[in-house]
Amino acid sequence: MPKDDLVYVGHMLDTARLAAAKVAGITRERFDADENLRLALGGWPRIFDPGVTIG
């Protein structure tokens, strides 16, 4: 794998870990009720692919 690809994959892994940490211990009901959390996490897939649409 080219060095640039390894950096890209590393960034994706770091971001996925951060997203998982944000929701650790949060129930679905609490997540659904927390608009700020939903909005913050709603954009993280675009880090991987800017063309991603959610919902």
Residue 17 lies in a domain: yes
Residue 26, C-beta contacts closer than 8 angstroms, at least 6 positions apart: 34, 37
Lowest mean pLDDT among 9-18, 19-28, 35-44: 35-44
Q: How confident is the model at residue 8 (pLDDT cuts 50, 70, 90)?
A: confident
Rounded CA separation 8/48 (Å): 9
Residue 54 lies in a domain: no
Residue 53 lies in a domain: no
Residue 42 lies in a domain: yes
Residue 37 lies in a domain: yes
Residue 55 lies in a domain: no
Rounded CA separation 25/27 (Å): 6
Tell me the residue length of the chain: 55
The predicted model scores a pTM of: 0.57
Domain count, the chain: 1
Residue 16 lies in a domain: yes
**Owning domain of residue 40:** 3-48
